[in-house]
Amino acid sequence: MEEERAKNLVDDLTFEWGEVGGFFFDLRDRKFNRLAFDRTKRLLESIDFENEKLIHKSIVALIWSIPLFMEDNCHKILESEIDEDSLFKAKMELNRIVESKLER
C-alpha cells in the first residue's frame, strides 16, 4: 500500500474514532448514525492488505479493536432508543470486515 493511501486511511479512520460525526465517536455517545456507519463500512472495505509484505501498524492499531468496541458499546446503546436490529447488523458487518482484513 502506498504511503499516501495509508496516510489517507489513517486520517479517515482517526476521524471516525475521534471527531463528532465519526461513527465510533457517535456510537460512544449512544448515537447510531447510519450515514457514518455506511462511510466507515466503505472505508474498511477499501483496505487491502492482500499483496502487502508489511501491514501498516497505524492502520492495524485503528481497526483491531473494532469488534470489541462494537460488542461493548452495543450493550450500552441497547438501553437507549436505537433500532436494535440495525445495530446488531452493523456490529456483525464490521466484525466480518475487520476479521477478513486481519486474518492473514
Q: Which cell goes with 19?
A: 471527531
Domains identified in the chain, total number: 1
Is the pLDDT confidence value at 79 over 80?
no
Nearest CA to 2 out of 60, 54, 62, 63 is that of: 54
* Whole-number Å distance between alpha carbons of 24 and 20: 9
**13-61 tens-digit pLDDT:** 999 999 999 999 999 988 888 999 999 999 999 988 776 666 778 888 9
Q: What is the mean pLDDT of residues 5-10?
A: 91
Q: How many CB atoms lie within 10 A of CB 88?
A: 13
- pLDDT value, residue 95: 93
Task: Give the domain range for residue 18.
Answer: 3-102
pTM beyond 0.75, yes or no: yes
